[in-house]
Amino acid sequence: MGKSPAESILSGDRKILARLLTQVENRSFEGLAALDELFPHTGKAHLIGLTGAPGTGKSSLVNQMALQYRSAANPKRVAIVAVDPSSPFTGGAVLGDRVRMRDLAGDPGVFIRSMASRGSLGGLAQTTAAVVQVFDAAGFDVILIETIGAGQTEVDIARLAHTTLVVEAPGLGDEIQAIKAGILEIADILVVNKADLPGAENTERALKGMLGLAHPVEKVFRHHGETMVVPAGEPANAALWVPPILRTIATDGTGVGELIEAIEQHAQHLRRSGDWGRRERARLEAEFEALLTETLVSKFRSNIPDIRYDEVVERMVQRTLSPWEAVKELLGG
Amino acid sequence: MGKSPAESILSGDRKILARLLTQVENRSFEGLAALDELFPHTGKAHLIGLTGAPGTGKSSLVNQMALQYRSAANPKRVAIVAVDPSSPFTGGAVLGDRVRMRDLAGDPGVFIRSMASRGSLGGLAQTTAAVVQVFDAAGFDVILIETIGAGQTEVDIARLAHTTLVVEAPGLGDEIQAIKAGILEIADILVVNKADLPGAENTERALKGMLGLAHPVEKVFRHHGETMVVPAGEPANAALWVPPILRTIATDGTGVGELIEAIEQHAQHLRRSGDWGRRERARLEAEFEALLTETLVSKFRSNIPDIRYDEVVERMVQRTLSPWEAVKELLGG
């Protein structure tokens, strides 16, 4: 008997890895079975999320980070998951891929995967979680999860990561800055990319101001919405993390080394404080609940004859049965 | 006995309307009960969705449309639902509101409601659907649903509408144009706002080009992703709708009358072709399924003791039970 797909991936077969990623995205039986087999091998990778508006140069930054992780004295294996929730119909992420391919092509320590909403069944965040699990089991040390935009889907995907980077750039206008106000709360590290452009200082100042709002003097932000009160003037203790603001120029690599260093410090902070384990638990719970929901609904639906279902929908269209009454009727009998 | 909240709304009480909208957003028992009572009175309003990137001037356009609907020979009652999925934590839509308030304040035929992700339980699209239903029952003739951005949430919300407008503006850069490629497929009408800015012609040309890609000569787009093949050179029949591209200057109202006329033509087209009914049915079905899912999950969850649930999560954290195995175990026994 030959190896199972999961065994092949654990031994580093890239072709089988690519095929399995597709199966996982399609939620095929083979994909789900392999996820079960791979699961005990997960939990080792450092998951790094990057989000920010279009035009901030996230893709170039991810590219540079991958190059620097690869050229380090102790090179890390890097997987890149580029998620584009704004492409429900076309694979917008593919273009970014081709640009990246040029620099990273042929390196067996790098694997790039693009995902758009189309073709992902059961929610993009859920599919991304499964894809990340495959890379984790396959032994990639660092998994860079890049999302375009700053909407709810991006926030959900950012929650997958141990470390979340919010990327900003000078001169994107006030309205885009305003969007960031919400997403700041999920940032572990803030990056002002394109720092050679005029206005970089203003952008940094604006972010500092917003961080000040999010974390006033007597309150220090710790982790995804949790806050800890620290009396003004007293030093924050080791369990607290104040998001640093870093400047980078992704096109020539300036500041990317410092960024990687800050990410490493964040990982150490998470392990010291116990937040690493808490984030793992929250992530697994979210994944479990999404799967549970999916299974409950498909089980219930398969027990209701189509004709009964259609009849209920027809009564809703006629306005004689409300959606809520329809649910009660189907669940009751 | 006094009137029920639903009765008060049907007779035009704005204070009760505002309170009920909050109850519906919070999914309180009172809110759900009132939705049931209001449901037979829904199905009359024309739902108009507007989406587009930040900076396109959507809020001003919505404002102008409302003013023109109100000042028509036969004025319509207008509700505005401003949804900001990119504000998970703060009410970013509130600013736009205040600007609008200046022009529309005091008009009893206009009602404005802002929604952000925070505070909406059970998904923003679902809550928006419920809020729209309340306005529909309350007798608003036109409901303008404005979303900021172009992500999956915005697409889901746009699907609520009978008529979807995609708003573009000159000079927003190539990357933002690229985002639009996906969202074009949901557009019934394309609007180039800020048409007085340099580059308006280029924007219109770019949109025409993209529409050409989406709807090549021999294919004419009809309805949310469905296409109908029409041999090149043959006239499209009455059942087909080719999205028009209109120019507006929202700040002074230029072109807004023509836009309202095009929206009216689209409504007539939907009724003639039967698509009006099909969109209603699809919308009710989606709402019903979201409610069904929510109910199934909370019912199941209440039957599982917390200690059993925690034990399963703990085994996942220890990597001895995969999320998928956990679902099977809980559903099996």
Say yes or no: B238 and B167 in one domain: yes
From residue B56, alpha-carbon distances to B31, B148, B248 in Å are 34, 10, 11
Say yes or no: A88 and A157 in one domain: yes
Find the residue in A nearest to B56 (Cα). A175
Nearest residue to A279 via CA among B327, B320, B317: B317
The verdict on a CB contact (< 8 Å) between B297 and A296 is yes
CB contacts, 8 Å: B316 with chain A: 284-285, 288
* Rounded CA separation B223/B203 (Å): 24
pLDDT of residue A182: 57
CB contacts, 8 Å: B296 with chain A: 293, 296-297, 300, 331
Structure tokens at B35: 């939705």
Say yes or no: A96 and A233 in one domain: yes
Say yes or no: B242 and B116 in one domain: yes
The verdict on a CB contact (< 8 Å) between A326 and B288 is yes
A-B contacts (CB, under 8 Å): 195
Say yes or no: A262 and A313 in one domain: no
What contacts B231, CB < 8 A, 6 or more positions away? B218
Q: What is the CA radius of gyration of chain B?
A: 22
- For every one of its 333 residues, what pLDDT tens digit does chain B have, with 9 covering 90 and above? 578 888 888 888 899 999 999 898 888 889 989 999 999 999 999 999 998 877 788 889 999 999 999 999 999 999 999 887 655 433 334 444 545 556 677 788 999 888 876 544 457 778 888 999 999 999 999 999 998 765 666 667 777 899 999 888 887 654 444 445 556 777 899 999 999 998 888 888 888 877 765 544 433 333 344 444 444 444 444 567 889 999 999 999 999 999 999 999 999 999 999 989 988 898 898 889 888 988 898 899 899 999 999 999 999 999 999 998 999 999 875
Say yes or no: A230 and A175 in one domain: yes
pLDDT of residue A78: 96
pLDDT tens by residue, A41-56: 999 999 999 988 777 8
**A160: CATH:** 3.40.50.300
Q: Is residue A236 part of a domain?
A: yes
Q: Averaged over A30-36, what is the pLDDT?
A: 90
From residue A326, alpha-carbon distances to A237, A291, A304, A323, B123 in Å are 54, 24, 13, 5, 20
pLDDT of residue B327: 92
pTM of the model: 0.72
Min Cα separation B95/chain A (Å) = 10
Q: Is residue A19 part of a domain?
A: no
Structure tokens at B129: 């659907």
Say yes or no: B251 and B328 in one domain: no
Nearest residue to A21 via CA among A106, A107, A143, A104: A143
Structure tokens at B283: 């919308």
Q: Is residue A7 part of a domain?
A: no
Min Cα separation B84/chain A (Å) = 9
Min Cα separation A73/chain B (Å) = 31
Q: Are B212 and B221 in contact (CB under 8 A)?
A: no
Q: Which range in A52-61, A126-135, A253-262 is most confidently predicted, on average pLDDT?
A: A253-262
Rounded to 5°, angle at Cα A155 from A149 and A160:
120
Say yes or no: A217 and A319 in one domain: no
Residue B278 exposed, middle or buried by CB count within 10 Å (0-12, 13-18, 19+): middle
Scan residues 229-268 of A and list those with Cβ closer than 8 Å to B: none
DSSP conformational letter for B235: P
Structure tokens at B42: 């829904």
* Rounded CA separation B322/B326 (Å): 6
Q: Per-residue pLDDT for A89 more than 80?
A: no
Helix and strand numbers, DSSP H then E, in chain A: 13, 9
- A86 at B interface, C-beta within 8 A: yes
- B152 at A interface, C-beta within 8 A: yes
pLDDT of residue B220: 39
Structure tokens at B145: 């649903």
* Rounded CA separation B170/B87 (Å): 25
Say yes or no: B221 and B94 in one domain: yes
The torsion angles phi and psi of A142, rounded to 5 degrees, stand at: -125, 130
* Rounded CA separation B172/A179 (Å): 16
pLDDT of residue B231: 41
Q: Out of A86, A89, A182, name the one closest to residue B92 (CB).
A: A182
The torsion angles phi and psi of B143, rounded to 5 degrees, stand at: -120, 115
Residue A325 belongs to domain spanning: 303-332
Q: Are B179 and A55 in contact (CB under 8 A)?
A: no
* Rounded CA separation B153/A264 (Å): 33
pLDDT of residue B307: 93
Say yes or no: B211 and B158 in one domain: yes
Strands, E, within chain A: which ranges? 46-51, 78-84, 110-116, 142-147, 163-168, 189-192, 219-223, 226-229, 245-247
Amino acid at residue number B93: A
Rounded to 5°, angle at Cα B143 from B139 and B286:
100
Say yes or no: B181 and B314 in one domain: no
Q: How many domains does chain B have?
A: 2
Q: Is residue A24 part of a domain?
A: no
Q: Per-residue pLDDT for A122 more than 70?
A: no
* Rounded CA separation A147/B27 (Å): 30
- A276 at B interface, C-beta within 8 A: no
Q: Is residue B220 part of a domain?
A: yes
The verdict on a CB contact (< 8 Å) between B182 and A90 is yes
The verdict on a CB contact (< 8 Å) between A86 and B287 is no
Structure tokens at B323: 């999320």
Q: Is residue B9 part of a domain?
A: no
Residue B298 exposed, middle or buried by CB count within 10 Å (0-12, 13-18, 19+): exposed
Q: Is residue A150 part of a domain?
A: yes
CB contacts, 8 Å: B134 with chain A: none
The verdict on a CB contact (< 8 Å) between A327 and B40 is no
pLDDT tens by residue, A179-209: 455 567 778 999 999 999 988 888 888 888 7
The verdict on a CB contact (< 8 Å) between B92 and A181 is yes
* Rounded CA separation A319/A315 (Å): 6
Say yes or no: A250 and A316 in one domain: no
Q: Which ranges of A40-159 would DSSP assign to H, the alpha helix?
A: 58-71, 93-104, 124-137, 152-158
* Rounded CA separation A31/A18 (Å): 12
* Rounded CA separation B115/B91 (Å): 7
The alpha carbon torsion through B215, B221, B225, B231 (nearest 10 deg) reads -80
Q: Is residue A243 part of a domain?
A: yes
How many angstroms from the chain centroid is the CA of residue A107?
23
